[in-house]
């Protein structure tokens, strides 16, 4: 199947007024009451997790959603589970395609979306009940039109237990230089994204898959948006990002190649960012190395360590010194580290009976259902 293509901006007149951020700064327009937000869920063989993911989306306190699930050629019962949810909630739309990868699936969702903003979420991650509401408020309260709203997140295990509170950055505005050093957005399920900003750069890049370099599609889109727009931040942990034990054995060379391709493209456009991007690549290696060491995945850790020094000895040495320094300081910061870790509690999602899914949105829902016919 051919890769999903996105419509150009000229084909989307409703987005024509959404101009990128400039130094002079165009003020953000006041939001319309009950603004529609498009949720995009790419799903591939997600029968074990998509039910809970859909519950966390459906129970958002901001009820004006269209929930677009793109089944990327699943061979299990993913589509059947989505069908069950569709029978209960007319906001859900299921699209199906042959397996083409997460970038293609997300692009299919963006092409079908009608909201000014869209929020991607992977089919095994979770959202806090007020995630969309608070991010939409942050977007509309910003002085300038923002291209992306991010928040902090928690890592969770297969049983939804919180492993760690991830709080990398506490700033907003022009974030391109900081983003070169570290993908502080952290995952593909945390941001709320201005749809016209994503369309302007062609959405997620499906060519990375063709190059055998999947893994940095999210990061590339964030960098491209940061070149033209400021970011906003909600200072709370609103996403449960699931960490799988099997993730420690994923192809390290593929991950490195993916990030290298993405950062080299940006370095060619903006040569002054090249050293920051080199540092960022090594920081990503260090983060992966720490996770592997914590998981006692010795072979993977050795491979990452070797790849760091083979790729960029100078930056690798700098990051290694940082890592050693943190290890030496560990006894003195044990309390802070305990506070940043989960305490065994489970990530909490909303309850449908308590969400704004009843009378507050039934009139909107009837209009939405009619528009789909």
Q: Are residues 285 and 231 in the same domain?
A: no
The verdict on residue 19 lying in a domain is no
Q: Are residues 209 and 124 in the same domain?
A: yes
* pLDDT value for 250: 56
* pLDDT value for 345: 84
284: containing domain: 255-340
The verdict on residue 22 lying in a domain is no
Q: Are residues 111 and 238 in the same domain?
A: yes
CA distance 4 to 105: 7
**Which pairing describes strands 231-242 and 148-156: parallel, antiparallel, or unpaired?**
parallel
SS (H, E, C) 66-94: EEEEEEECCCCCHHHHHHHHHHHCCCEEE
**Residue 213: which residues within 8 A CB-CB, separation 6 or more?**
254, 257, 258, 261
Q: Are residues 262 and 331 in the same domain?
A: yes
The verdict on residue 108 lying in a domain is yes
Q: Please check whether residue 104 is in contact with residue 4, taking contact to mean a CB–CB distance below 8 angstroms.
A: yes
pLDDT band for position 18 (50/70/90)?
very low
- Other CB atoms closer than 10 Å to residue 344's CB: what's the count? 8
Cα 14 to chain center, whole Å?
24
pLDDT at position 172 over 60: yes
* pLDDT value for 301: 78
The verdict on residue 364 lying in a domain is no
* pLDDT value for 71: 98
The verdict on residue 24 lying in a domain is no
Q: Are residues 247 and 264 in the same domain?
A: no
Q: Are residues 260 and 196 in the same domain?
A: no
* pLDDT value for 346: 86
* pLDDT value for 14: 35
Q: Are residues 232 and 306 in the same domain?
A: no
Higher-pLDDT residue of 34, 242: 242
The verdict on residue 2 lying in a domain is no
Side-chain-side CA neighbours of 98 within 13 Å: the count stands at 3
When divided into structural domains, the chain yields a total of 2
Stated length of the chain:
373
pLDDT at position 256 over 50: yes
CA distance 291 to 301: 9
What CATH number did the domain enclosing 129 receive?
A: 3.90.550.10
Q: Are residues 68 and 101 in the same domain?
A: yes
Q: Are residues 173 and 313 in the same domain?
A: no
Share of the chain above pLDDT 90, in %: 56
Q: Are residues 219 and 302 in the same domain?
A: no
The verdict on residue 211 lying in a domain is yes
pLDDT at position 247 over 90: no
Q: Are residues 85 and 219 in the same domain?
A: yes
Higher-pLDDT residue of 272, 367: 272
* pLDDT value for 232: 97
Average pLDDT, the chain: 82
pLDDT band for position 347 (50/70/90)?
confident
Q: Are residues 202 and 311 in the same domain?
A: no
Structure confidence by residue, pLDDT tens digits, 144-166: 999 999 999 999 998 999 988 88
* pLDDT value for 290: 77
The verdict on residue 74 lying in a domain is yes
């Amino acid at each position: 199947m051919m890769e999903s293509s996105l419509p150009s901006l000229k084909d989307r007149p409703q987005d024509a007024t959404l101009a990128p951020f400039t130094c002079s700064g165009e003020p953000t327009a006041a939001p319309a009451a009950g603004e529609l937000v498009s949720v995009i869920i790419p799903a591939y063989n997600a029968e074990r997790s998509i039910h809970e993911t859909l519950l966390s989306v459906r129970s958002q306190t901001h009820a004006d959603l269209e929930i677009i699930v793109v089944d990327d050629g699943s061979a299990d019962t993913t589509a059947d589970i989505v069908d069950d949810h569709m029978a209960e909630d007319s906001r859900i739309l299921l699209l199906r395609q042959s397996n083409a990868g997460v970038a293609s699936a997300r692009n299919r969702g963006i092409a079908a979306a009608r909201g000014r903003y869209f929020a991607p979420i992977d089919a095994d991650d979770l959202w806090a009940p007020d995630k969309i509401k608070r991010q939409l408020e942050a977007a509309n309260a910003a002085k300038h039109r923002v291209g992306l709203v991010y928040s902090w997140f928690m890592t969770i295990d297969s049983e939804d237990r919180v492993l760690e509170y991830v709080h990398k950055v506490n700033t907003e505005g022009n974030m391109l230089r900081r983003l070169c050093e570290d993908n502080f957005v952290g995952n593909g399920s945390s941001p709320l994204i201005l749809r016209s900003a994503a369309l302007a750069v062609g959405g997620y890049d499906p060519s990375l898959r063709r190059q055998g370099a999947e893994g940095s599609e999210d990061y590339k889109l964030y960098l491209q948006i940061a070149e033209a727009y400021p970011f906003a931040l909600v200072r709370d942990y609103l996403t449960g990002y699931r960490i799988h034990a099997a993730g420690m054995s994923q192809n390290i060379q593929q991950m490195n190649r993916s990030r290298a391709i993405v950062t080299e493209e940006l370095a060619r456009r903006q040569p002054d960012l090249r050293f920051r991007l080199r540092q960022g690549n090594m920081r990503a290696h260090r983060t992966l190395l720490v996770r592997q060491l914590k998981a006692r995945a010795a072979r993977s850790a050795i491979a990452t360590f070797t790849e760091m020094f083979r790729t960029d000895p100078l930056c690798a040495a700098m990051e290694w010194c940082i890592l050693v320094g943190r290890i030496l300081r560990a006894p003195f910061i044990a309390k802070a580290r305990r506070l940043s870790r989960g305490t065994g509690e489970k990530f909490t999602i909303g309850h449908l009976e308590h969400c704004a899914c009843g009378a507050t949105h039934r009139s909107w829902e009837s209009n939405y259902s009619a528009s789909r016919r």
